[in-house]
Amino acid sequence: MDFELSDEQNLLKDSVERFVKDNYSAEARAKLVETDSGFSRDHWKKMAELGWLGLPFSESVGGFGGTAIETMIMMESMGRGLVLEPFLTTVVMGGGLVAEAGSEAQIEAIIPEVIEGNMLLAFAYAEPQSRFDLHDVETTATKSGDGYILNGHKSVVYHGTTADKIIVSARTSGNARDKDGISLFIVDNNVAGLSRRDYRTVDGQRAADILFNNVKVGADALLGAEGKAYPVIEKIADRTTAALCAEAVGVMQAAIDITNGYIKERKQFGTPIGKFQVLQHRMVDMHMEAEQAKSMSDMVAMKLELDDVEDCRKSIAAAKAKIGQGAKFVGEQSIQLHGGMGMTDEYSIGHYFKRLMTIEMLFGNTDYHFKRYAAMA
The CATH number that applies at residue 209 is: 2.40.110.10
Mean per-residue pLDDT of the chain: 95
Q: Is the pLDDT of residue 1 over 70?
A: no
Contact between 187 and 166 (Cβ < 8 Å): yes
175: in domain: yes
* Percentage of the chain modeled with pLDDT above 90: 89
22: in domain: yes
- Does one domain contain both 57 and 105? yes
Q: How high is the pLDDT of residue 307?
A: 80
Q: Is the pLDDT of residue 80 over 90?
A: yes
Taking phi first (over 0 means left), then psi (-120 to 50 degrees means alpha), and beta for anything else, what does residue 133 get?
beta
Q: What is the mean pLDDT of residues 287-297?
A: 96
* Percentage of the chain modeled with pLDDT above 70: 99
**65 phi and psi angles, rounded to 5 deg:** 65, 35
Q: How far from each other are the two terminal CA atoms of the chain, in whole angstroms?
A: 22
1: in domain: no
Q: Is the pLDDT of residue 263 over 70?
A: yes
Contact between 92 and 153 (Cβ < 8 Å): no
Among 197, 227, 257, the domain-final residue is 227
pLDDT, tens digit, 9 for 90 and up, residues 212-247: 999 999 999 999 999 999 999 999 999 999 999 999
Contact between 346 and 306 (Cβ < 8 Å): no
**64 phi and psi angles, rounded to 5 deg:** -115, 0
- Does one domain contain both 223 and 349? no
- Does one domain contain both 47 and 140? no
At residue 306 the predicted structure's pLDDT band, cuts being 50, 70 and 90, is confident
Among 118, 133, 160, the domain-final residue is 118
- Measured over the CA atoms of residue 41, residue 45, residue 50 and residue 54, the dihedral's sign is positive
63: in domain: yes
- Does one domain contain both 274 and 161? no
- Does one domain contain both 84 and 131? no
Query: How many structural domains is the chain composed of?
Result: 3
Q: Is the pLDDT of residue 118 over 90?
A: yes
Among 187, 210, 227, the domain-final residue is 227
19: in domain: yes
| Residue 124, strand partner residues | 168
pLDDT, tens digit, 9 for 90 and up, residues 354-363: 999 999 999 9
Q: How high is the pLDDT of residue 21?
A: 96
36: in domain: yes
Taking phi first (over 0 means left), then psi (-120 to 50 degrees means alpha), and beta for anything else, what does residue 131 get?
left
- Does one domain contain both 267 and 372? yes
Q: How high is the pLDDT of residue 373?
A: 95
pLDDT, tens digit, 9 for 90 and up, residues 158-202: 999 999 999 999 999 999 999 999 999 999 999 999 999 999 999
Q: Is the pLDDT of residue 2 over 60?
A: no
pLDDT, tens digit, 9 for 90 and up, residues 19-58: 999 999 999 999 999 999 999 999 999 999 999 999 999 9
Domain that holds residue 47: 7-118
Q: How high is the pLDDT of residue 267?
A: 76
Q: Is the pLDDT of residue 98 over 80?
A: yes
- Does one domain contain both 245 and 353? yes
- Does one domain contain both 221 and 237? no
At residue 339 the predicted structure's pLDDT band, cuts being 50, 70 and 90, is confident
- Does one domain contain both 253 and 337? yes
The domain that holds 354 is classified in CATH as 1.20.140.10
**69 phi and psi angles, rounded to 5 deg:** -70, -40
Which runs of E-coded beta strand occur in 87-181? 121-124, 140-144, 147-158, 165-171
Q: What is the mean pLDDT of residues 117-146?
A: 96
- Does one domain contain both 211 and 92? no
- Does one domain contain both 261 and 341? yes
Cβ neighbours around 109 below 10 Å, total: 15
- Does one domain contain both 181 and 246? no
2: in domain: no
